[in-house]
Amino acid sequence: EIIQDHLKERSRPRGSEHDWVLRGLLKCGICGRMITAEEHTKKSGKVYSYYKCTGFSRYKCSQVYVPTYKLEQQAYDFLGKIKVSSRFVNWAIKVLKRATDEEKEVYKEKFVTLRKEQDEIKDKLYNLQMKWATTNKVDEEVYERGVAELRSRRKQIYKMLESEDKDFDLTTDITIETFKFARDAQNRWETGDLMYRKGIMKVVGSSLVLNEKGRLEIKPRTPFLIIEKALRNEAKVQPTPKMTDIRLNAVINL
């Protein structure tokens, strides 16, 4: 949805004929101002394109100029840090759905209780209304307050029952889309146009900073942060393959 909203910007008029992937998304780690991009052509005809801090001229920010290709390569490399295999995604989806089905069974007990309370409220409302209509034993203020409270609770229960499956379905869908996005983001960066690349960075990072060393720092959104940490930890514990293991795997593959 973030990418689709971003792509709508295509139809908006632009003040410049040029645009760069990280312009408008990146802040300076020294002064906190936005990072922009510029392109200059030398007399020789050679074109130079680079990112720079908007506070460089006016506020004398010491941020370095960084060639666009270097910074965008760093963005591409980061997408490799959250990349998961198709095999893992397929396995994870199966496990997720199985776990969700099991959790649904436990979760249903909560809704059994809610439906019971719903029936009790229906009876209480009926009895209160009949008592009010046929006797003088119920004060008008007490009656109105009692009816209002019962109807309010009934409305709450209705909403909760309505979300019985929606909560699970939404969580499952978001998790699956997150895995698929992590799997495909780096490849889509290569094949997508500039606007689509911008959309990818908006999805992945909640904060993009150009640090004092001229390197890109990305604070991933929570799902991608979890994936990145998991992949980093997995890489640390991977044993170095021995020659016997390599030969054995070769035999198995044959």
**179-194 per-position pLDDT tens digit:** 999 999 999 999 988 8
Position 249 scores a pLDDT of: 47
Position 164 scores a pLDDT of: 63
pLDDT band at 251, cuts 50/70/90? very low
Is the confidence at residue 112, as pLDDT, over 50? yes
**pLDDT digit string, tens, across residues 133-178:** 888 787 888 889 999 999 999 999 888 887 666 666 777 888 888 9
Cβ atoms of 34 and 51 closer than 8 Å? no
Mean pLDDT, the chain, integer: 83
**Higher local confidence (pLDDT), 245 or 101:** 101
Lowest mean pLDDT among 70-84, 105-119, 159-173: 159-173
Cβ atoms of 208 and 25 closer than 8 Å? yes
Is the confidence at residue 232, as pLDDT, over 50? yes
Position 12 scores a pLDDT of: 55
Q: Percent of the chain at pLDDT above 90?
A: 39
pLDDT band at 7, cuts 50/70/90? low
Closest CA to 34 of 242, 161, 210: 210
Lowest mean pLDDT among 29-33, 133-137, 184-188, 236-240: 236-240
Q: How many CB atoms lie within 10 A of CB 72?
A: 22
Q: What is the mean pLDDT of residues 89-114?
A: 82
The sign of the CA dihedral 224, 227, 231, 233 is positive
* One-character DSSP codes across 157-216: HHHHHHTTTHHHHHHHHHHHHHHHHHHHHHHHHHHS-HHHHHHHHHHHEEEEEE-TTS-E
Closest CA to 180 of 223, 219, 221, 231: 223
